[in-house]
Structure 1
Amino acid sequence: MMNKSKVCGLSLYVLMAVYSGVVFAEGSADTLPTVTIQDSNKTGHLERRTRTQGDSLKALDEEPSVQMQTGGGISSLPVMHGVSSDRVNVKVDGVGVTASCPNHMNPALSYISSFQVEAITAIPGITPVSLGGDSLGGSILVNTQHPGFTSGESRYSGQFSSIYGSNEDYLNLSAHVGFADLSNSVGYYGTDEKARDYKNGKSDIVKRTAYEQNNHSLVYARKLADGTLSFRVGRTAVPKQGFVNQYMDMLENTAMKYNVKYRGLLGTLKSDVSLSHQNVDHYMDKLRDYSSGQMPMYTDSKETNLLAKSHLISSQTSDTSAGVEVNFYSLNDWWTPVSGMGGMSPNNFVNINDGHRDRYAFFVENETQWNSSYSTNIGARVDVVSMDTGRVQGYNNTSNAPADEAYFNSLERNKTDVNYDMTWLNAYQISESQKIVLGLGRKSRSPNLYERYTWAGLQSTLATSNPVRMDMRMINWFGDGNGYVGNINLRPEVSHILSASYFYQSAQGAHIEITPYYSEIQDYIDADLKYISTTGSDTGVRYLQFANHDAIIFGTEASVSWDFLQTESYGAFNIKALTSFTRGYRKDGVSDLYNQMPWNGKLILNQETSKWKNRAEVHMVAAKEDVSGIRNEHKTGAYATADLGTEYKWGTAFTTSLQVLNVFDTQYDLPLGGKDILNGKSPVAGKGRSFVVGLNYDL
């Protein structure tokens, strides 16, 4: 079963627990605790937080620093400390994956099903430099399952599960089979899932929320004299995924991923080396069930990543490590012509031609336990980001979009950014039960290819160019119904972060964590308004260009947990309370930042015996009043929902579960949902009541 770590969850100072505990399984993990959810029994049942419907990001629904920006059913974008998408460092088995779509329909976590998750760790705020760069808001680190090795005789393992959800006729079928002995292990993991459009609290269908995917991976590991060598190959195919807050839907996304990893000694140095490669073929158009017309859009990407870390100098009280990371990413994005549509023919619209974003990084980090009560993590990292793209073309030389094409092709497009990150994290053990952690950080991120190199709308007169406005609406991963154009002169974002955390853990089972934070971001990539449409079907739509502006983000998150009762007859009882608040705005006073989650909280009651678990949860969200005026962002109302769940283990093999989500069928709008494109661009409604039944069988 899956357990949250009992040590104090640490929002800032997670490195030693993650790096030493996960990678090398040694070191003082109690000194620097984690916010980790992990599977403590590789062949056991994962409880609701990970064995859930669709998006694997839902595994972190009890981490107050993590929110979800609505995308497709398996493609939500993570939000941490007020920033989302590319600004959050997401890695699966130590490897990042770049979204290859002008709507970011295929983020990193869309390629991993919850069935495959071994452990998922959230690091809000200041990420230690060895765990990633080129990001601002924090990190989400996922380790996938593998059969492991035996200490004696060889063994076979297997697991089969099924989940059904009534609201959208969701069906998930997952399977795992594996073999392991003293020095070899091999495993297969597969998931097939599909869902129809879900219904809101009024039983109205929320169109374009259906999806289906299949996900398969094969892993082989070999124990060597000084370490472990593993090989993993995976294929993810998404035949369909609706996007309620986008103008397009995903009609195909196929990815092949290959990963080789070595963990162990290189000479005398404890090291972690990985090499990965991923190919993505992506196709967008309109789902014919709801939209007329066509606009086929294709994306092809290739990404190769090399990561090597080694412990250079180690002692009982100090450890110095260094590493390199190299990432090569190439992208082609083109839209084929549509017969009979003068504004969308006769040429391919070349959105990004042979785009490259290559990154070369070096980092060094020191962890020192100065005495029994004070420890530090100090790190520095340099990321050199090199970007370029080729010449582009529009659909034609009359209405779409010759002026923009000529202007963009005349520009010098090669750009190189030299970014550096610095972190200083300090942990003070006040007493046996109390700890304070103070952190200072400088984090940086370069623009992505779409922010820097999309070009339709750079020179056109938007008031008289409807085809170009249509092109701009295709560039949008915010779900706000607007249109965007790139800016080749964008500067990298630089965030200066101050954070403090207080932790309390009593011997009686009470745990308290409070983390206020403050970030001042230089050259935050927001947008400037170019035009507001006043005619036709896009009346009211804002057309914007990505632009640098200084910004401030601050907030607080807190959690309380108490194991308040233990009985022989009824087992253990635990109550949890989680809350978070975020506020972000531009320093020039023009606008609040987009998609800032209002105050929200959860109250959770758990009861558990050796075979039976029960759960009741209330989720409360305040009204969202602070919105981005420049993007015409919707305000949303306050609401509360309730969930109930029960799970029973029959012997050693079968586990059944039943959940009732949104028990009272509450109607509400999603604060980070964006605009429902087919419903008058109103706020996207949340899901109504659903009965969810699960069955799990372990060999």
Structure 2
Amino acid sequence: MLLALPSLAVLSGSVLAAEDAPATLPDVTVKATRPEQSGPIALDAAAIVPRQAATSDTAQLLYGVPGLSLYGAGGVSSLPSIHGLADDRLRIKVDGMDLISACANHMNPPLSYIDPTAVDSIQVYTGVAPVSAGGDSLGGTVVANAAAPVFARAGEGLLLKGTTGAFYRSNGNGRGANVSMTAANERFSLSYSGSTAESDNYETAADFKTGTPTTRVKVPAAREVGASQYSAQNQSLGLAMRQENHLLELKLGLQNIPYQGFPNQRMDMTGNKSEQVNLRYKGQYEWGSLETRVYNEHTRHKMNFLDNKLSSATSLGMPMDTEGWNTGALVKADILLSPRDTVRAGVEYQRYRLDDWWDPITTTAGMMGPNKFWNINGGQRDRLEVFAEWEARWSPKWQSQLGLRSGTVTMDTGTVQGYNNAGGMMGYGDPTNPATVPGAFNASDRRRTDQNLDAAALVRYSPDDERSFSAGLARKTRSPNLYERYTWSTNNSMAMNMINWAGDANGYVGNLNLKSEVANTLSVTADWHDADRRNWAFQVTPYLTYVQDYIDAVSCAVVGKSCPTRTDGFVNLSFANQRARIYGVDISGHTQLVAGGAWGSFMAKGLLSYLRGKNTDTDDNLYNQMPLNAKLALEQRFGAWTNTAEIQLVADKKDVSQVRNEMQTGGYGLLNLRSSYEWKSARLDLGIDNVLNRAYAPPLGGAYVGQGGAVWGTPVPGPARSLYVGLSAKF
């Protein structure tokens, strides 16, 4: 969906809550009416809760959003992709915080910092996102929020409430539990939520090629997908205070992931600890609303080999450590100028610091010693942006929105060193010596400043209650991340393999000379529906994106670097600015088949997405582009039961990236069944994924390197049949 500008509404506040209602302030009478902000695709509890028992990966809650797919990763760390743009090319916010993956393999993406059971709502901009939704990105925006604070009603006294739940999944022996509690009166609210989830390696439906394991590797069975296990715990403590039309909220978050395997990465996560502090104020005034936010997030991340990758050749492991500090601030105002016009304006600041080092495994000179390897030393990425947006409702039929965002991104890093200063394949060379390290990283001027400009224009025409047509045009800009610019080692493939968030198991080295990417997007949506949007709807959204200075993978020689030649089927690459074109169409709809008969009501739903991405400089295909896919579902509601039968269809992936040696995947069809039963204070969820136990490889799953001695040629296999059950209760 491109945009959804709702009809005008009288301003009545939107940030404080009593009992089970969404957070709303007491009514405020104003003289103006307000056209609300362009609406994203909204996933509320009705869409989120049925998925919580089936997954511990919050990104999987986005399943079924038109134009959105997921890069494969660890069990709680999938990476969303919207219209062929993924990871750092999207703006992803968790409870208003712009989180950054502090890992050379992006094992801790933003959505991995909140458990699915803690998510109350998600908003997804899949087309042209307003500039107020965030900058420093090319594609859409995903905003995930925990539940708003709850307060007691007037005269009710102390409010005590909570929920608890547990789940089990047969494939991988997945299990977990969660709890949330609130104690509140009319002015203060104290809340806590906690969750734990873990799983063993999952199985696929057929034997698959697993490479040539070396000795001392814990070799998985022929149908067991190595390095797919995980364990994760999340906790959050919230304190909120309201006074008339004002809300002050403080949230403290704590995450601990003891381990998480990655079937498509050379390394596994052996620890991820994060502490978050998030302070927000929101208030309603006669002129509009004001929101301010300050947050700080500290991550301590560790990587090494779990059992399936630990061989005799790597018996001492390869410890890798990352520490990141992310501090941000936001001031944003919605100003009601007139019944027709609303202006939004704001300032955002983000200060990011990163250290990435690899401890030696020996005190004597050798392959991995005696020095500490500095991959990024004192990395800095500071972003300051200002934006303004004007939204107008010209008539009941016409609405428009126009916005600008200007930003400055400043980046720098300190000097680095290898495990040793020896030359040749077994050494890393002296980073100050151009003779041993091309480009002489330490002697280079490493400070970079990017001036970025975003603009978005959107218009909507609704001739009647059953039709609406919208169009948007945007320019969006993204600066490179620290790893794209500052990773430096090219002396052997082992070091280069550690720089990879694409899941293709290739090796990468950064490029100091990268420029910001600039995407120009045109998106159009035609929407037909019944007047209440309940009985039927049909949407078509074609889109076209042209990216200047697209950061794509290239041969090291293209950017003047000398990288080792490989014989294992994988390749060593760097990054360069090129040009890219992405186009496609999303088609979705639903229709009521039976409104309420002896067997209840029946609803049919459908979704089809087509996407094509090309590098127009090289005529190569862009990496990890989702092939033609469709979902068809029949939903029955019968009393307290909701039952769904769904077919997922995916075509062959033949258009692959040649420069990355990307693997093709075959087409497949999966049948999934889901059922739920709701009592007044409890809910039961049951389901079977991949009912027919089909063997398949997800097109965006990456290359399988889930055990020692892996070789090129095997995509990560998808899970076999899995039965899941979840039970939750309110108290």
The reply to whether TM is greater than 0.5 is yes
* Cα distance in structure 2, aligned partners of 1:184 and 1:565: 46
1:38 to 34, 44, 47: 44
Task: Quote how far apart the aligned CAs of 1:225 are.
Answer: 2.7
Q: Deviation per CA, 1:89-122, whole angstroms, max 9, x where unpaired?
A: 1001221100000000000000000111110111
**Structure 2 unmatched ranges of 5 or more:** 16-22, 28-32, 208-222, 434-439
Which position in structure 2 is the counterpart of 1:73?
Answer: 75
Indicate the residue corresponding to 2:465 in structure 1: 432
AA matched with 1:158: G
Q: Does 1:358 align with 2:364?
A: no
Q: Does the alignment pair 1:401 with 2:428? A: yes
Structure 1 residues 50, 374: CA separation in 2 closer, same or farther (over 3 Å shift)? farther
Identical aligned residues as a percent: 36
| 1:519 lines up with 2:545 in the alignment | yes
| Cα gap change, 1:575 to 1:602, in 2 (>3 Å) | same
Kindly indicate whether the alpha-carbon contact (under 8 Å) linking 1:170 and 1:195 is maintained by their aligned counterparts in 2: yes
Q: Is the 8 A contact 2:456 2:475 kept in 1?
A: yes
CA distance in 2, matches of 1:289, 1:579: 38
Aligned partner of 1:114 in structure 2 is 116
1:690 and 2:722 equivalent? yes
Moved more, 287-296 or 231-240: 287-296
- Which digits, 9 at most, give the CA deviation of each residue in 1:420-478, with x for residues without a partner? 10000000112211000011100000000000001012xxxxxxx5xx22111100000
- Give the SS at the match of 2:271: strand
Distance in 2 between residues matched to 1:275 and 1:14, nearest whole Å: 29
Matched, 1:417 2:450: yes
- 1:509 is matched with 535
TM-score (norm 1): 0.93
Structure 1: runs of 5 or more not aligned: 1-9, 458-464
Worse overlay, 524-533 or 368-377: 524-533
Structure 1: distance between partners of 2:42 and 2:275? 28
1:656 to 666, 675, 684: 684
Aligned AA (1:558)? I
Contact 1:50–1:58, Cα closer than 8 Å, also in 2: no
Question: What is aligned with 1:376?
Answer: 400
* Cα distance, 1:245–1:29 mapped onto 2, change above 3 Å: farther
Superimposed CA distance per residue, residues 133-153 of structure 1 (whole angstroms, 9 cap, x where no aligned partner): 000110101111144123231
Distance (whole Å) between structure 1 residues aligned to residue 259 and residue 58 of structure 2: 18
Q: Return the offset for 1:579.
A: 1.1
Provide the C-alpha distance between the structure 2 equivalents of 1:395 and 1:46, rounded to a whole number of angstroms. 47
Measured in 1, the distance between the counterparts of 2:441 and 2:225 equals: 39
- Cα separation, 1, equivalents of 2:4 and 2:667: 34
Amino acid at match of 1:308: V
2:136 match: secondary structure: coil
Q: Which residue of 2 aligns with 1:261?
A: 280
Show the counterpart of 2:201: 197
Amino acid at match of 1:357: R
In 2 relative to 1, CA 414–590 (structure 1 residues): closer, same or farther, beyond 3 Å? same
Determine the structure 2 residue equivalent to 1:101: 103
8 Å CA contact 1:379–1:422 kept in 2: the answer is yes
Is the contact made by 1:159 and 1:176 (CA closer than 8 Å) also made in structure 2?
A: yes
Task: Judge conservation of contact 1:17–1:33 (CA < 8 Å) in 2.
Answer: no
Give a deviation string over 1:623-667, Cα, whole Å, max 9, x none: 001110000000100000001111112x42232221111001000
Deviation at 1:28, TM superposition (A): 6.5
Alignment partner, residue 652 of structure 2: 623
Aligned CA distance change for structure 1 residues 46 and 501 (closer, same or farther; 3 Å): closer
Letter in 1 for 2:277: Y
Alpha-carbon distance in structure 1 between the residues aligned to 2:654 and 2:8: 38
Change (3 A) 1:535 1:274: closer
Letter in 2 for 1:514: V
Q: Provide closer, same or farther for how the CA distance between residues 432 and 15 of structure 1 changes in structure 2, counting only shifts above 3 A.
A: closer
Distance in 2 between the 1:405 and 1:455 partners?
A: 12
Q: In 2, are the aligned partners of 1:87 and 1:136 still within 8 Å (CA)? A: yes
Contact 2:540–2:585 (8 Å) recurs in 1 = yes
Q: How does 1:5-16 map to 2 (within 5 A)?
A: 10-13=1-4
Q: CA deviation at 1:392?
A: 0.5
C-alpha displacement at 1:533, in angstroms?
A: 9.0
> 1:403 Cα shift?
4.9
- Whichever residue aligns with residue 689 of structure 1, its letter is R
Q: Which residue of structure 2 aligns with residue 238 of structure 1?
A: 257
Name the aligned partner's letter for residue 219 of structure 1: G
Look up the match of 1:247. 266
SS of the equivalent of 2:484 reads: helix
Q: Residue 526 of structure 1: SS of its match in structure 2?
A: strand
Partner of 1:5: none
Of 659, 662, 680, the residue aligned with 2:711 is 680
Structure showing greater relative contact order (alpha-carbon pairs closer than 8 Å, 6 or more residues apart): 2
* Correspondence for 1:312 among 335, 354, 367: 335
Secondary structure at the counterpart of residue 343 of structure 1 = coil
Q: 2:676 matched to 1:647?
A: yes
Contact 1:122/1:140, CA 8 A, preserved across alignment:
yes
Distance 1:28 1:562 in 2: 32
Within 2, Cα distance between the matches of 1:414 and 1:210? 40
Paired residues for 1:456-605 under 5 Å: 456-457=489-490, 465=491, 468-507=492-531, 509-530=535-556, 539-567=568-596, 569-605=598-634
Change (3 A) 1:533 1:130: closer
Q: Partners of 1:62 and 1:288 in 2: how far apart?
A: 35
Letter in 2 for 1:629: Q
Q: For the Cα contact (< 8 Å) 2:630–2:648, is it kept in 1?
A: yes
Deviation at 1:226, TM superposition (A): 2.8
Match of 1:124 among 108, 122, 126: 126
Quick one: distance in 2 between partners of 1:611 and 1:271?
A: 41
RMSD of Structure 2 on Structure 1 (CA): 2.2
Supply the AA of the counterpart residue of 1:672: L
Given that residues 606 and 614 in structure 1 are in contact (C-alpha distance below 8 angstroms), is that contact kept between their aligned partners in structure 2? Answer: yes
Taking the aligned partners of 1:125 and 1:450, their CA distance within structure 2 comes to 27
SS in structure 2 at match of 1:342: coil
Look up the match of 2:391: 367
Does the residue aligned with 1:316 lie in a helix, a strand or coil?
A: coil
Residues 302, 320 of structure 2: 8 Å contact kept: yes
CA distance in structure 2 between the aligned counterparts of 1:301 and 1:360, rounded to whole angstroms: 19
* Higher mean C-alpha displacement, 180-189 vs 47-56: 47-56
Task: Measure the CA separation in 2 of the matches of 1:262 and 1:14.
Answer: 26
Q: Kindly tell me: are residues 450 and 471 of structure 1, through their superposed partners in 2, closer, same or farther at Cα, counting changes over 3 Å?
A: same
Q: Verify the 8 A CA contact 2:34 2:340 in the aligned structure 1.
A: no
> In structure 2, do the counterparts of structure 1 residues 420 and 17 end up closer, same or farther at CA, with 3 Å as the change threshold?
farther
TM-score (norm 2): 0.89
Give the equivalent residue in structure 2 for 1:638. Answer: 667
Q: CA deviation at 1:588?
A: 1.6
**2: CA distance between counterparts of 1:694 and 1:446?**
42
**Alpha-carbon distance change, 30 to 309 in structure 1, aligned in 2, over 3 angstroms:** closer
Amino acid in structure 1 at the alignment position of 2:428: A
Give the superposition deviation at 1:609.
3.2
Q: Which amino acid aligns with 1:143?
A: N
